[in-house]
Amino acid sequence: MKKFFLLFLALGAVAFAGESEMVQAYSVVAAGVGLGLAALGGAIGMGHTAAATIAGTARNPGLGGKLMTTMFIALAMIEAQVIYTLVIALIALYANPFLG
């Protein structure tokens, strides 16, 4: 239900807005959807990484330290992708290159 409300809100902004306001409204919707998808993908990737590390440690407890180090490096790379999406969303919101 919240998705439909957001969609109707965005369409209402488009219907009553001028050209620059329309670009800003689309930028807000795109930033929200992009951040949501990036956070979802990052969370899924982090969950798989943690599960694989736990399974590896359970099979061979002696490698727990090496596996944890590798897991933290992988988590940092996954989180970097989400932060890149945040930067692009902030650029689209505050320094929009599409506004003439």
Amino acid present at 82: V
**Is there a domain that residue 72 lies in?**
yes
Residue 4 predicted with pLDDT over 70: no
Q: Answer whether 0.75 is exceeded by the pTM.
A: no
**Is there a domain that residue 85 lies in?**
yes
Task: State how far Cα 51 lies from the chain centre.
Answer: 21
Q: 85: closest CA among 33, 49, 44?
A: 33
**Is there a domain that residue 19 lies in?**
no
For position 9, what pLDDT does the model report?
A: 66
Alpha carbon distance 91, 51 (integer Å): 34
**Is there a domain that residue 51 lies in?**
no
**Residue carrying structure tokens 């329309």:** 22
**Is there a domain that residue 7 lies in?**
no
Residue 43 predicted with pLDDT over 70: yes
For position 54, what pLDDT does the model report?
A: 96
pLDDT band for 26, please (50, 70, 90 cuts).
confident
**Is there a domain that residue 84 lies in?**
yes
What's the average model confidence in pLDDT over 57-80? 94
User: Domain residues for 60?
Assistant: 56-95
For position 78, what pLDDT does the model report?
A: 93
Number of structural domains, the chain? 1
Residue 14 predicted with pLDDT over 60: no
Average of per-residue pLDDT values in the chain: 85
**Is there a domain that residue 18 lies in?**
no
Percentage of the residues of the chain whose pLDDT score is greater than 90: 52
